[in-house]
Chains A and B, each alone.
Chain A
Amino acid sequence: MTDTLAVEQLSKSFGRHEVLSGIDLTVAEHEVVALIGASGSGKSTLLRCINLLEPISAGRIFLSGEEITRTRNVNAVRRRIGIVFQAYNLFPHMSVLRNVTLAPRDVLGLSKSEADDRATTLLDRFGLADKRTEYPDRLSGGQQQRVAIVRALAMQPELMLFDEVTSALDPELVAEVLEVIRELAAGGMTMIIATHEMSFARDMADRVCFLDAGRILEEGPPEEIFTAPREERTQQFLQRIIEAKRL
Chain B
Amino acid sequence: MASEGDRRAGLEVDRRSRLLDGLRSGGEGRRSVAIALASTIVFFAVVVFAITHAPGWPAVRSQFFSWHEFKSTFPEIARAFRLNIKIFCIAEVFILVFALFLAVLRSLPGPVFFPLRALAIIYADLFRGIPTILVIAMLGFGAPALGLSYVPTSVIFWGIVSLVLIYSAYVSEVYRAGIESIHPSQEAAARSLGLSRAQTLRRVILPQAVRRVIPPLLNDFIGLQKDTALVGTLGAVEAFQQSQIDTNATFNFTAYLCAAALFVAITIPLARFTDWLIARDRRQRQAGGATL
Question: Please, how many angstroms separate the alpha-carbon atoms of A155 and B2 in the complex?
Answer: 28
Question: Please, how many angstroms separate the alpha-carbon atoms of A246 and B267 in the complex?
Answer: 65
By a CB distance below 8 angstroms, the chain A residues around B193 are 78-79, 102-103, 107, 151-152, 155
Binary interface profile of A, 129-153, with partner B (CB < 8 Å = 1, else 0)? Answer: 0000011011001001000000110
Could you tell me which residues of chain B, from 185 to 208, have a CB within 8 Å of some CB in chain A? 185-186, 188-196, 199, 203-204, 207-208
By a CB distance below 8 angstroms, the chain A residues around B189 are 85, 89-91
B288 at the interface (CB under 8 A from A): yes
Could you tell me which residues of chain B, from 168 to 188, have a CB within 8 Å of some CB in chain A? 185-186, 188
Partner of B188, one of A85, A138, A151, A152: A85
B112 at the interface (CB under 8 A from A): no
By a CB distance below 8 angstroms, the chain B residues around A141 are 1-2
Centre residue among A102, A106, A141, A151 by max chain B CB count within 10 A: A106
B147 at the interface (CB under 8 A from A): no
Binary interface profile of B, 1-13, with partner A (CB < 8 Å = 1, else 0)? Answer: 1100100000000
B130 at the interface (CB under 8 A from A): no
Q: Is the CB of B188 within 8 A of A53?
A: yes
Task: Count residues on chain B whose CB falls below 8 Å from chain A CBs.
Answer: 25
By a CB distance below 8 angstroms, the chain B residues around A76 are 194
B59 at the interface (CB under 8 A from A): no
B109 at the interface (CB under 8 A from A): no
By a CB distance below 8 angstroms, the chain B residues around A103 are 193-195
Q: Is the CB of B199 within 8 A of A106?
A: yes
Q: Is the CB of A106 within 8 A of B188?
A: no
Partner of A102, one of B203, B211, B289: B203
By a CB distance below 8 angstroms, the chain B residues around A152 are 192-193
Q: Is the CB of B186 within 8 A of A137?
A: no
- Residue of A with least CB distance to B211: A93
Separation in Å of the A215 CB from the closest CB of chain B?
25
- Residue of B with least CB distance to A154: B193
Question: Please, how many angstroms separate the alpha-carbon atoms of A216 and B199 in the complex?
Answer: 36
A51 at the interface (CB under 8 A from B): yes
Centre residue among B190, B208, B211, B289 by max chain A CB count within 10 A: B190
Q: Is the CB of B289 within 8 A of A87?
A: no
Q: Is the CB of B195 within 8 A of A53?
A: no
By a CB distance below 8 angstroms, the chain A residues around B190 are 91
Interface of B is mostly: helix
Separation in Å of the A71 CB from the closest CB of chain B?
13
B292 at the interface (CB under 8 A from A): yes
Binary interface profile of B, 267-292, with partner A (CB < 8 Å = 1, else 0)? Answer: 00000000000000000000011111
Q: Is the CB of B192 within 8 A of A78?
A: yes
By a CB distance below 8 angstroms, the chain A residues around B192 are 51, 53, 78, 81-83, 152
Question: Please, how many angstroms separate the alpha-carbon atoms of A196 and B103 in the complex?
Answer: 41
A75 at the interface (CB under 8 A from B): yes
Q: Is the CB of A107 within 8 A of B194?
A: yes
Could you tell me which residues of chain B, from 68 to 114, have a CB within 8 Å of some CB in chain A? none
By a CB distance below 8 angstroms, the chain A residues around B204 are 91
A92 at the interface (CB under 8 A from B): yes
Separation in Å of the B154 CB from the closest CB of chain A?
41
Binary interface profile of A, 68-105, with partner B (CB < 8 Å = 1, else 0)? Answer: 00000001101101110101111111000000001100
Separation in Å of the A167 CB from the closest CB of chain B?
13
Partner of B1, one of A87, A106, A134, A138: A87
Question: Please, how many angstroms separate the alpha-carbon atoms of A152 and B196 in the complex?
Answer: 16
By a CB distance below 8 angstroms, the chain B residues around A106 are 195, 199, 203
Separation in Å of the A191 CB from the closest CB of chain B?
15
By a CB distance below 8 angstroms, the chain B residues around A81 are 192
Question: Please, how many angstroms separate the alpha-carbon atoms of A134 and B290 in the complex?
Answer: 8
Separation in Å of the A129 CB from the closest CB of chain B?
19
Q: Is the CB of A75 within 8 A of B208?
A: no
Instruction: Provide a sorted-by-A list of 19 A–B residue pairs whose CB atoms are within 8 angstroms.
Output: A85-B188, A89-B185, A89-B186, A89-B188, A89-B189, A90-B189, A91-B186, A91-B204, A92-B208, A92-B291, A93-B207, A93-B211, A93-B292, A103-B193, A107-B193, A135-B290, A137-B288, A137-B291, A141-B2
- A residues with a Cβ closer than 8 A to B are 51, 53, 75-76, 78-79, 81-83, 85, 87-93, 102-103, 106-107, 134-135, 137-138, 141, 144, 151-152, 155
- B residues with a Cβ closer than 8 A to A are 1-2, 5, 185-186, 188-196, 199, 203-204, 207-208, 211, 288-292
Give the 5 A-B CB pairs with smallest separation, nearest first.
Answer: A79-B194, A135-B290, A89-B189, A103-B193, A107-B194
